[in-house]
Amino acid sequence: MFEAMLEGWARQQRARFLRADATIKPRVEVVRRFARFSNQYPWQWTPGELEAFMTSMSIAVSTARSYQNALRLFCDYVTDARYGWPAECLQRFGDAPQQVLHEWNSVTHNVEFEGRTSRRPLSYDEVQALFDAADGRVEEIRERRRKGSAAAQRDAVLLKTIYAFGLRRQEARGLDLVDLRSNPKVEAFGRVGALFVRHGKSSRGSAAKRRTVLTVPEFDWIVELLEQYLTEVRPILMPGEHPAFWVTERRGRMSLRAVNEAFERARAAANIDPELDLHSLRHSYVTHLVEFDYPERFVQEQVGHSFASTTAIYTGVSDDYRNRLLQRSLNTPNDDLWEPDE
């Protein structure tokens, strides 16, 4: 009966076109984990068992909410009379499943950001140190006359591209050569006027979101780097007809793990806080665009956020920027300032 419930619930989610590996499988595993903990079946579960399960673990608030969400959805499914489980359980076992989560034992959502507090944007010095470390690895390999200098160059340009366009890991990995775009408004950037991102983060039940990320003047140094990569470095890797932008020495597309490792090597060499991860470069991009005084809506469109509040979470402007804003306000003539009515 329990297995039939799980299969029916999974089928219900597949009917909504939710992703099997990213969404359905983890949810089912949470339900199985709770069942193992309680040593009971769904028609025997009580709120007390749920509370004991949640307090038995040392997990982040965001993780606790995802667990509770999975269990709540499962209980909603098995208690819905339209699927027949309550009547079937009463007939067979004399008990019917109930919703074990309610407002008194569920995590409340009081703040926008509940991730790790250690995740933050890199400072300008940290970004420079990271890139210097990535470039330094290329020189080190060349000096030792070892193989892999082309791959190291690729990794260095990859990290700089992720920062210069505010890309997610999957977005960067999924880039193809055809995703380069020219911008008729800025002909000086040539074919690197923009990137067409086809593997943006999808909403539940929908395909990957697409967007065009414009090259901004403050990051125009990426134009020359990408041109050099395409004309000098990528051909060394002998990709043949492979369409991927970032190819391996085995003529394949870089894996997500390889993208992470490129950042981790540079981070370690630069002696940067190990709590910072690849996604911190995206946080840095958002923060630095704000510090360059780009409008909030422009920044939101560049990074592909549906809501401005999400973009705000990524922003961690520096004290220097806030002091510049304060100085600008102090230098504004009094006639231009709003004053309250007496």
Instruction: Supply the pLDDT for residue 308.
Output: 66
Q: Does 20 score more than 90 pLDDT?
A: no
C-alpha atoms less than 13 angstroms from C-alpha of 206 in its C-beta half-sphere = 9
pLDDT higher than 60, residue 10: yes
Q: How far is CA 66 from CA 63, 70, 104, 106, 207, in A?
A: 5, 6, 17, 11, 22
Which of 63-72, 98-107, 167-176, 319-328 is the least confident region? 319-328
Reply yes or no on whether the pLDDT at 325 is more than 80: no
Angstrom distance (rounded) from CA 211 to CA 128: 27
Q: How far apart are CA 71 and CA 27, in angstroms?
A: 8
Helix or strand holding residue 194 (H, E): strand 194-200
Total Cβ atoms within 10 A of residue 12: 15
Q: pLDDT digit string (tens) for 186-195? A: 999 999 999 9
pLDDT-above-90 percentage for the chain? 69
- Residue 51 CA to residue 109 CA, distance in Å, equals 18
Q: What is the mean pLDDT of residues 124-144?
A: 93
Angle CA 154–158–163, to nearest 5: 155
Q: What is the CATH number of domain 2-93?
A: 1.10.150
Residue 196's φ and ψ, nearest 5 degrees, are -95, 110
CA-based torsion, 129, 292, 309, 173: positive or negative: negative
pLDDT band at 312 (very low <50, low <70, confident <90, very high): low
Report the alpha-carbon distance of residue 306 to residue 297 in Å, rounded.
Answer: 10
Which pLDDT does position 340 carry in this prediction? 44
Rounded to an integer, what distance in angstroms lies between the CA atom of residue 207 and that of residue 194? 22
Please tell me the total number of residues recorded for the chain in this structure: 342
Name the residue ranges covered by the structural domains of the chain.
2-93, 126-276
Tell me if 157 sits within 8 A of 225, measured CB to CB.
yes
The CATH superfamily label for domain 126-276 reads Intergrase catalytic core (1.10.443.10)
Lowest model confidence (mean pLDDT) among 254-258, 285-289, 303-307: 303-307
pLDDT of residue 248: 93
**Quick one: how far is CA 46 from the chain centroid?**
35
In this prediction, residue 306 carries a pLDDT of 76
Instruction: Compute how many other C-beta atoms are within 10 angstroms of the C-beta atom of residue 278.
Output: 21
Q: Identify each DSSP E strand in 51-171 by its residue range.
A: none
| pLDDT tens track for 215-265 | 999 999 999 999 999 999 999 999 999 999 999 999 899 999 999 999 999
Which residues lie below 8 Å from residue 194, measured CB to CB, with a gap of 6+? 180, 181, 182, 183, 212, 213, 214, 215
Is residue 237 within 8 Å of 248, Cβ to Cβ?
A: yes
**Residue 291 carries which side chain, given as an amino acid letter?**
E
Question: For residues 250 and 254, what is the distance between their CA atoms, to the nearest angstrom?
Answer: 10
Residue 313: pLDDT band (50, 70, 90) is low
pLDDT attached to residue 110: 47
Tell me the three state secondary structure of residue 253. Answer: strand
Whether the per-residue pLDDT at 336 is higher than 80: the answer is no
In sequence order, the β-bridge partners of residue 196 are 212
Chain-wide mean pLDDT for the chain? 87
DSSP state of 135: H
The pLDDT-based confidence of 145 (bands split at 50, 70, 90) is: confident
Res 235: pLDDT:
95
Residue 111 banded pLDDT, cuts 50, 70, 90? very low
Task: Report which of 121, 123, 92, 101 is spatially closest to residue 46, judged by C-alpha positions.
Answer: 101
The confidence score (pLDDT) of residue 310 equals 64
Kindly tell me if the per-residue pLDDT of 317 is higher than 70: no
Pick the more confident residue, 322 or 292. 292
